[in-house]
Structure 1
Amino acid sequence: MQNRRDFLSALGVIAAGTILSSPLKAAIASSGKKLQVVLVGTGDRGNDFWGKRLVANYSDILEFTALVDINPGRVKYAAGYIGVGKKCGLYTSFEVMLEHHQPDLVIVATTDATHHEYIIKALKNGIDVITEKPITTDEDKMQAILDAEQRYKRKVIVGFNLRWSPYALKVKELLSQNIIGDIVSVDFSWMLNTSHGASYFRRWHGQREHSGTLLVHKSTHHFDLLNWWLESEPEEVYARGDLEFYGRNPKKKGVNCRSCNEKDSCKFYWDITDGGRDAFHQKLYVDNEKYDGYIRDNCLFRPEINIYDKMNLSIKYANNVYANYMLTTYSPWEGWRIAFNGKKGRLEAFVNVPYLGSEKLSQEELHDIEMSQDGKGKEKVEPIIIHKLWDKEQEIINVHYDISGHGGGDARLQDRIFIHPERTDPLKQSAGIREGAMSALIGIAARNSIESGRAVRIGSLTDLQPRAKSL
């Protein structure tokens, strides 16, 4: 029987598309011990999705032996919020943690620009890794991660939850059936609203040295979907981007919302100290600002913002599909639309477009449900439209799914990793290091293209060369 560490090494192979013969529970039972897990980064995503949710749903097969965060107050609060127990070690140094623990798995949920540090250190110490997307923020860090995985023979799994949403999966199933013939082009638009979209500019994400811009942090999700749906890898990217809505505004004097003199007039005012629904943010961030100076309710118009708030890409795939992508960060509503043009017809899909549905929830309520991890979501029905060439009428396929936990993707991703890794993966939903790299490299290439004014070839960024057909 496999031991736990060998099992997770095999699990990394699953992420690349092969099949594992032994389930995780059998591996745990054979060792007589639970999977030993360390979480690095105890912000929003670490606390809820990779922390509290794992304790609530998988405590029979895993346990947190340590939490790591550079902020001592934040990691202490996270221990209670996640519910890790008194035996779990709390550290502000990853290196010090390794002196006391040898976990089976490290989960990385730190700021994007530091992912590579913890991924590489874990691999070097013989530990497999699950990392939040994006895997990293520039081509040099990407190459370092690729080299480390090869050198130390451990595996990296990337947490692409949107692949596991029933709606995205239905799009994949239909395209895999060649229902519109060979795909020739794609038009993909993603809209962030003035609540969720604005939040990126309040946080560390608004500075490219931390996030790599939203082309890397946010759009990596979307590029991964494109790569997966098209079953191909990107070859060349040309992009445009600008910052013209958020960012530097000399008229704004506040450091953050709490100290601003425009509380009564600014439509973006957010009271992080109001208790209620934001009590979590106050306890996690405001109460611990004294340790590292990180401010969670920064002004959206501060001069430090140096990312783009509108972005447009032209992507050429190795199989000669052309894709156009647009990200808007200050839309009245949040959702996305995509159209695939094939040689036999056209497939259109869309999520949360308010005038195409009967949704009565506010944008804030809708976002809260989508981000929730308590399993108490809201069922929704969204159509997928297929129109064949020369057919007078289109076919409408209605997809029913629960919108909580990123459209049902969160629970399915974690169940795959921790409960059902032995199951076959015919539609290649699991994502490993290559998938993580190819999605992030589109954003990295786009940023380089905006800065240089020239198209950027994906193959020029790292040793990875695009494949016309993803394996």
Structure 2
Amino acid sequence: MSNTHNRTRYALVGTGNRGTTMWGGELLAGWSDHVDLVGICDLNLMRAERARGMIGGDAPLYADFATLMAEQKPSLVIVCTPDHNHDDIIVAALEAGADVISEKPLTTTVEKIARIRDAEARTGRRVDVSFNYRFAPTAAKMKELIDAGTIGQVTSVDFHWYLDNRHGADYFRRWHAFEKNSGSLFVHKATHHFDLLNWYLGSDPVEVKAFGELLHYGAKGPFRGPRCRICPHRDECPYFFDLAADGFLDALYEDPSEVDGYVRDACVFREDIDIPDTMTAVIRYASGAQVSYSLNTYMPVEGHHIAFNGHLGRIELRQYEKQPWEMPKADEILVVRSFGGGVERIEMPHQPGGHYGGDNLMRDMIFKGERPDPLGQRAGSRAGAVSVLTGLAALKSARTGGAVRLQDIAPPGIF
């Protein structure tokens, strides 16, 4: 997409938190020799204007994507809109001759996957998916250990992700809380986790059996209000969110809500929320590996636990992101070898930038020219598609009670 001599002319579509920071101000601040922001698009022009003030520069604002493409002709479009309309923007960008970076997930339905893949093949352009977790140094080290055969063939994986009662609750305050928008957290959030599994194992998932229920948020809540700012239960609700106390989010969302009606502090106990908040899945891979996975969204801790079990040992990580006790500023990977081989403790210090350095390393690879990628960290549309299909299979299994084979739901050409 870029080299060190030519700056990539890019357009940003969607000016929420992620677009304004990761692909806006941070990108321009750290990669200004490699990128040039030539247009900002959002249906809510007040939000777009607020975002531009935070990003910096004077990129023109557009409410209509086609007009932006016709006038600015960017070579790259970065898509940060709600998940359900990624496909419309991606396809239009590809057809206009631009490459695309899509925030995760790639999209939300099988039909939309097919539409994106067809457009990419037809136009010859490229779609990248923002799977930044692949680039975190700890993840890269575990991938190196697995690929080197440190524990032999991986036969099973234990993978459990914990969202705390602030981060997890945030998905239920926003548009993500409805399946039509996000595909559920089996798609929106777990797309990261399923992609990591697919990448770590170097194999495709074959079959999923899952459970998912709404056990804590939504109609399960003890009371509810119209939104936190005017809720009569604000003094007794542990999920009260004071948007006014967060200057960044308040500026992006409060006044702009008068334009489009979208409020950032909606009630987590809305009775029409229709996605699970408690999820488990068992996944069988083509390699023979079996995975036990869970995602919980109202924990007192944030982070994840993963362990790879093989014929020659086990690789284990407990990554702490937030918890009510002090933890060292490093991850510790445990490599436990079978047959008296003992344990090796590998310390991975946290790197600067989001996702323990993963965000910066991903942007380096994309924007600082073609670089070696021995671990296959850069993710394209197929990786995005397979992770979404894993989530869709999990959701279907949870809804129907039966196991779901990915080949039975996938569009042609994926497997």
- TM-score (normalised: structure 2): 0.96
Q: For the residues of structure 2 that align with 1:100 and 1:404, how far apart are their CA atoms?
A: 34
Change (3 A) 1:321 1:182: same
Q: 2:273 aligns with which of 301, 305, 312?
A: 305
**Corresponding position: 1:124 with 2:95:** yes
User: Is 300-309 or 384-393 further displaced after alignment?
Assistant: 384-393
Code of the aligned partner of 1:241: G
**Corresponding position: 1:407 with 2:378:** no
- What is the deviation of 1:128? 0.7
- What is the deviation of 1:300? 0.5
Code of the aligned partner of 1:179: T
**Corresponding position: 1:226 with 2:197:** yes
- What is the deviation of 1:304? 2.4
The residue correspondences of 1:39-438 to structure 2 (distance < 5 A) are 39-85=12-58, 88-248=59-219, 252-274=223-245, 278-352=246-320, 358-359=326-327, 380-391=329-340, 393-402=342-351, 404-419=353-368, 421-438=369-386
Other structure's SS at 1:167 match: helix
Q: Is 1:202–1:300's contact at 8 Å kept on the other side of the alignment?
A: yes
2:411 maps to what in 1? Answer: 462
1:11 maps to what in 2? Answer: none
Q: For the residues of structure 1 that align with 2:267 and 2:381, how far apart are their CA atoms?
A: 35
Q: Is 2:20–2:54's contact at 8 Å kept on the other side of the alignment?
A: yes
Q: Is 1:63–1:84's contact at 8 Å kept on the other side of the alignment?
A: no
Q: Is 2:186–2:391's contact at 8 Å kept on the other side of the alignment?
A: yes
Q: For the residues of structure 2 that align with 1:310 and 1:75, how far apart are their CA atoms?
A: 34
Code of the aligned partner of 2:123: Y
Change (3 A) 1:242 1:64: same
Identity among equivalent positions (%) equals 43
Q: For the residues of structure 1 that align with 2:286 and 2:388, how far apart are their CA atoms?
A: 16
Q: Is 1:71–1:292's contact at 8 Å kept on the other side of the alignment?
A: yes
Q: Is 1:312–1:327's contact at 8 Å kept on the other side of the alignment?
A: yes
Aligned residues, how many? 414
2:9 maps to what in 1? Answer: 36
Q: For the residues of structure 2 that align with 1:381 and 1:251, how far apart are their CA atoms?
A: 39
Code of the aligned partner of 2:208: V
Q: Is 2:102–2:128's contact at 8 Å kept on the other side of the alignment?
A: yes
Q: Is 2:353–2:360's contact at 8 Å kept on the other side of the alignment?
A: no
Q: For the residues of structure 2 that align with 1:92 and 1:302, how far apart are their CA atoms?
A: 30
Q: For the residues of structure 2 that align with 1:392 and 1:318, how far apart are their CA atoms?
A: 29
- What is the deviation of 1:358? 3.9
- What is the deviation of 1:355? 8.4
Change (3 A) 1:226 1:403: farther
Change (3 A) 1:251 1:383: closer
Other structure's SS at 1:436 match: helix
Q: For the residues of structure 2 that align with 1:205 and 1:264, how far apart are their CA atoms?
A: 25
Q: Which runs of 5+ in 1 are unaligned?
A: 1-7, 9-22, 29-33, 360-378, 467-471
- What is the deviation of 1:177? 1.1
- What is the deviation of 1:176? 1.2
1:121-159 per-position Cα deviation (integer Å, ceiling 9, x unaligned):
011111110110100011110011111111111110111
- TM-score (normalised: structure 1): 0.85
**Corresponding position: 1:441 with 2:389:** yes
Q: Is 2:11–2:76's contact at 8 Å kept on the other side of the alignment?
A: yes
Q: For the residues of structure 2 that align with 1:403 and 1:390, how far apart are their CA atoms?
A: 38
1:75-124 per-position Cα deviation (integer Å, ceiling 9, x unaligned):
11111111132xx2211111222232211100000000110010000111
Q: Which runs of 5+ in 2 are unaligned?
A: none
Q: Is 1:184–1:321's contact at 8 Å kept on the other side of the alignment?
A: yes
2:398 maps to what in 1? Answer: 450
Change (3 A) 1:465 1:110: closer
Change (3 A) 1:201 1:355: closer
- What is the deviation of 1:415? 0.8
User: Is 49-58 or 39-48 further displaced after alignment?
Assistant: 49-58
Q: For the residues of structure 1 that align with 2:104 and 2:224, how far apart are their CA atoms?
A: 34
Code of the aligned partner of 1:62: V
Code of the aligned partner of 2:226: V
Other structure's SS at 2:70 match: helix
Q: For the residues of structure 1 that align with 2:337 and 2:222, how far apart are their CA atoms?
A: 54
Other structure's SS at 1:192 match: strand
1:294-318 per-position Cα deviation (integer Å, ceiling 9, x unaligned):
0100111011211110111111111
Q: 2:4 aligns with which of 22, 25, 41?
A: 25
Q: For the residues of structure 2 that align with 1:251 and 1:406, how far apart are their CA atoms?
A: 34
- What is the deviation of 1:340? 0.8
Q: Output the aligned Cα RMSD.
A: 1.7
